Amino acid sequence: MQAVQIEEIYQEILDGKRSIFPRHTWSEDGNRELAKRVTKYLIENVLEWEGEEIKQQWCKKLIKKYKLGGVLGIVYQASPYTMLNDLYPRRFKEWEFQQSSVPANFWTKEKGLEVLRWTIEEKEKLTTEQLLQVYSKKWLIKNQLERPFRVHWGSSPYAMLNDLYPKRFKEWELKEVPLNFWTKEKGLEALRWTVEEKEKLTKEQLLQVYGKRWLNENGLSTPLRKHWNSSP
């Protein structure tokens, strides 16, 4: 069989004119040339997908729906990512796809931190201020990091971030904190840190700025309300 014919055969299968590819098509495809050609044909000609559509929708279910389950199983050991990476080397990261397309043993603790670093520093290119504004459970889920932060960090966004950047951030700097985080002691600790370390205020400067508005701006409205009846 000539490689140039494989697209026509595949289209006939999609059209219902054939039921399967000829025998030994994939077992004899030593350099995976035919496998890559049908994958390319599916993505670029049949689906007409661009990068984001590929990342959002490429999965086993779709591959089987479009009659390439045999290629996936025989040539690529049932890995949708391996199949795609063979066609487009290093164009996509494995963790950018649906979680169902990522192998169950993929998310080690080290891999979770690698992906978090890549997302912050390369994909999003976040400054420290931007990171503190967006970093949360919702942001981790949006960036396909739900499984590692749940499995390795007990669903604690701060614990994961602190492992990546040890002692760089205080938990109260984040957009969200756990429900019972704000004890009276924690409120005083955060206030002391804000005054003495973050803002480095002199006594005179503190007297100039200190008030309810300043406490709100520094994320201290909850402990103020909860433990001091909104009295600065």
Q: What is the pLDDT of residue 3?
A: 47
Q: Tell me the pTM.
A: 0.74
Task: Give residue-wise pLDDT tens across range 96-128.
Answer: 887 767 777 889 999 999 999 999 999 999 999
- Token pair listed for 150: 């749940």
Closest of 84, 74, 72, 99 to residue 23, by C-alpha: 74
| Centroid of chain to Cα 85 | 18
Q: Between 109-118 and 146-153, two packed helices, what is the crossing angle to 10 degrees?
A: 130
- Token pair listed for 158: 């701060």
Contact 92, 58 (CB under 8 A): no
The residue to which tokens 């050991």 are assigned: 77
Q: What is the pLDDT of residue 102?
A: 74
Q: What is the pLDDT of residue 230?
A: 87
Q: What is the pLDDT of residue 105?
A: 84
Contact 66, 105 (CB under 8 A): no
User: How does pLDDT run along the chain (232 residues), one tens digit per residue?
Assistant: 444 499 999 999 999 999 999 999 999 998 999 999 999 999 999 999 988 899 989 999 999 999 999 999 999 999 999 999 999 999 999 888 877 677 778 899 999 999 999 999 999 999 999 999 999 999 999 998 999 999 999 999 999 999 999 999 999 999 888 888 999 999 999 999 999 999 999 999 999 999 999 999 999 999 999 999 888 8
Q: What is the pLDDT of residue 156?
A: 93
